[in-house]
């Protein structure tokens, strides 16, 4: 298959040498000792990533246009050493925004903090073109962050179609945050689009408030040639179920000239559709809020100025049209300006910068760097199904691509043969920590946590590795 060794022959160890971070990586790896009682998590991976330069994805994909991506096997070199369960845990990177929402007494300010959280939750996608590993059926991931005051458990509850369920809860009982994600990936010739099916629910317990939303679409451009880049687009509606008030966020597609690249604009409205506040910014940078009147009049003034400038030189033809046809790459428009802040706006959220060695490490954020760390003493308490114990991801993280590829193939084969065995005796798969049910707020199909994971009684767990 395409996962076999020859598919990454040539990506030699040379790529390790030019990765200047290697030494740093080794040095800071021993820094897990507690300091002031707070555990330090690792801030780097054990090894830098392999160069992908020598792989032609085109050769693999040109036969597969229109297929669902789960049916296409890609060489492991296009992965990043995280399971999709760990990738969705990255929603939690800015949990301080939920904590902030909990602490606010003004309901509009609470909605603003929740909206900022919803945007921040997808900000880690920026420049992350590596594909996370598909979780195996029954795979789990747990994360406890005392410093941010929450713990999370997730489980792969279905394989066909793939469904990942997660449940996070505040350690002091302020909130629960849960959802089930059905990523639908589609290959469109030059790009791969991920449709984020599934509902996300945030309950602020102290305020008796429930918010639900669905993530925007995510698209990876130029999977075949040209520079890879990520676009997120679509409307995200955050609904306050207690009142019917909502926040509508429009993740803008980048458009012909790239003017709208990464832009998010929206507003909070009440039941009678009265706009209470405007929210604007970029999901890659920051989000601001301000009152609708000032925002609109500012926009009008801007438009006027724009139309005066219209006789400015035209762009060359090649830049005018982001063609749908042809083999040309769809280049990411060059964006120089950042978010223009309108005086009187309030900052809701600003992205933290990524570590310097991020570019050599799959463009991970600091938070992502820590997710697959096997902290001292952890192995004794982890469920045997936890992603951190997955040998293929571990091998890839350590830079051993041959081993990673062999292990990935072995695990997938093991999963296939277990499925065959079950079907022989007509046994149904049973999930362990989540149950299929109806989301009480949206009435949509969902997977709900049944509790008990942190009692750590791991009886009846499947042997998936």
Ligand X SMILES: *[C@@H]1O[C@H](CO)[C@@H](O)[C@H](O)[C@H]1NC(C)=O
| Residues of the shown chain interacting with ligand X in the complex, contacts defined by CB under 6 A | 10-12, 14-15, 51, 53-54, 107-108, 111, 127-130, 209, 227-228, 240, 242-243, 245, 359, 362-363
Give dist(CA 278, CA 111) in Å, integer. 12
Contacts of 205 (CB under 8 A, 6+ apart): 170, 173, 174, 175, 176
Cβ at position 137, least distance to ligand X in Å: 27
CA–CA dist 147, 142 (Å, integer): 15
**H/E element, 346:** strand 346-350
Closer by beta carbon to ligand X, 60 or else 230: 230
Nearer to ligand X by Cβ, of 14 and 225: the residue is 14
Q: Which residue has the tokens 């925002």?
A: 295
Nearer to ligand X, 125 or 415 (CB): 125
Distance between CA 328 and CA 88 in Å, rounded?
Answer: 32
What is d(CA 326, CA 314) in angstroms, rounded to the nearest whole number?
23
47 or 383: CB nearest ligand X: 47
Cα 138 from chain centre: 20
CB 279 within 8 A of CB 249: yes
The total of other beta-carbon atoms located within 10 Å of residue 425's CB is 6
β-pairing, 79-83 with 131-133? parallel
Q: How many helices (H) and strands (E) does the chain have?
A: 11, 18
Q: What sign for the dihedral angle of Cα 232, 269, 214, 341?
A: positive
Cβ proximity to ligand X, 334 vs 460, nearer residue? 334
Our CB check for ligand X shows the closer of 403 and 431 to be 403
By beta-carbon proximity to ligand X, the closer residue of 85 and 223 is: 223
Tell me whether residue 163 or residue 202 sits nearer to ligand X (CB atom): 202
Give the DSSP letter string of 404-442.
HHHHHHHHHHHHHHHHHHHHHTTPPP--SSEEEEE-TTT
What is the nearest approach in angstroms of ligand X to the Cβ of residue 9?
Answer: 9
Least distance from ligand X to the Cβ atom of residue 244, Å = 8
CB of 274 to ligand X, least distance (A): 12
- Judged by CB, which is closer to ligand X: 222, or 415? 222
The CB-of-336 to ligand X minimum distance in angstroms stands at: 15
CA 356 to chain CA centroid, nearest Å? 20
Asked if 369 contacts 45 with a C-beta cutoff of 8 angstroms, the reply is yes
In the complex, what is the shortest distance from the CB of residue 243 to ligand X, in angstroms, rounded to a whole number? 4
Please state the closest distance from residue 41 (CB atom) to ligand X, in A.
21
Distance in Å, CB of 63 to ligand X, minimum: 24
Q: How far is the CB of 415 from ligand X (least distance, A)?
A: 26
Q: How many CB atoms lie within 10 A of CB 63?
A: 8
Among 411, 446, 449, 417, residue whose Cα is nearest residue 433: 449
CA distance 337 to 233: 20
Smaller CB separation from ligand X, 180 or 405: 405
Cis peptide leading into residue 161 (ω within 30°): yes
Residue 328 CB, shortest distance to ligand X, in Å, is: 18
């Amino acid at each position: 298959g395409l996962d076999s060794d020859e598919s990454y022959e040539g990506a030699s160890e040379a790529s390790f040498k030019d990765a200047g971070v290697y030494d740093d990586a080794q040095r800071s790896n021993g820094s897990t000792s507690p300091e002031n009682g707070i555990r330090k998590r690792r801030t780097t991976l054990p090894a830098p990533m392999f160069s992908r330069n020598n792989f032609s994805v085109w050769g693999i994909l040109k036969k597969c246009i229109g297929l669902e991506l789960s049916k296409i096997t890609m060489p492991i070199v296009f992965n990043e050493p995280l399971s999709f369960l760990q990738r969705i845990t990255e929603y939690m990177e800015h949990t301080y925004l939920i904590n902030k929402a909990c602490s606010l007494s003004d309901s509009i300010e609470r909605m603003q903090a929740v909206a900022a959280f919803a945007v921040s939750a997808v900000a880690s996608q920026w420049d992350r073109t590596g594909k996370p590993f598909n979780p195996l059926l029954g795979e789990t991931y747990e994360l406890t962050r005392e410093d941010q005051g929450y713990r999370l458990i997730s489980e792969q509850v279905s394989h066909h179609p793939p469904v990942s369920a997660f449940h996070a809860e505040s350690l002091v009982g302020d909130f629960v945050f849960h959802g089930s994600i059905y990523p639908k990936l589609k290959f469109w010739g030059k790009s791969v689009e991920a449709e984020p099916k599934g509902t996300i629910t945030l309950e602020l317990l102290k305020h008796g408030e429930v918010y639900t939303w669905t993530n925007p679409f995510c698209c990876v451009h130029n999977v075949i040639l040209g520079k890879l880049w990520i676009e997120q687009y679509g409307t995200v509606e955050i609904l306050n179920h207690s009142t019917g008030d909502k926040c509508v966020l429009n993740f803008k597609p980048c458009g012909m000239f790239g003017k709208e690249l990464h832009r998010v604009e929206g507003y909070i409205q009440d039941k009678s559709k009265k706009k209470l506040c405007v929210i604007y910014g970029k999901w890659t940078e920051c989000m601001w809020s301000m009152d609708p009147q000032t925002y609109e009049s500012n926009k009008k003034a801007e438009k006027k100025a724009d139309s005066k400038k219209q006789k400015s030189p035209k762009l060359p033809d090649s830049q005018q049209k982001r063609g749908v046809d042809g083999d040309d790459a769809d280049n990411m428009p060059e964006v120089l300006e950042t978010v223009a802040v309108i005086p009187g706006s309030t900052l809701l959220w600003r992205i933290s910068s990524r570590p310097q060695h991020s570019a050599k490490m799959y463009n991970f954020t600091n938070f992502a760097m820590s997710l697959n760390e096997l902290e001292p003493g952890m192995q004794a308490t982890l469920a045997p199904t936890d992603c951190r114990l997955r040998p293929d991801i571990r091998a890839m993280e350590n830079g051993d691509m041959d081993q990673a590829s062999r292990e990935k193939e072995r695990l997938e084969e093991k999963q296939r043969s277990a499925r065959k065995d079950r079907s022989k005796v007509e046994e149904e798969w049973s999930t362990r920590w989540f149950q299929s049910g109806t989301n009480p707020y949206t009435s949509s199909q969902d997977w709900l946590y049944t509790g008990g994971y942190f009692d750590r009684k791991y009886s009846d767990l499947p042997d998936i590795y």
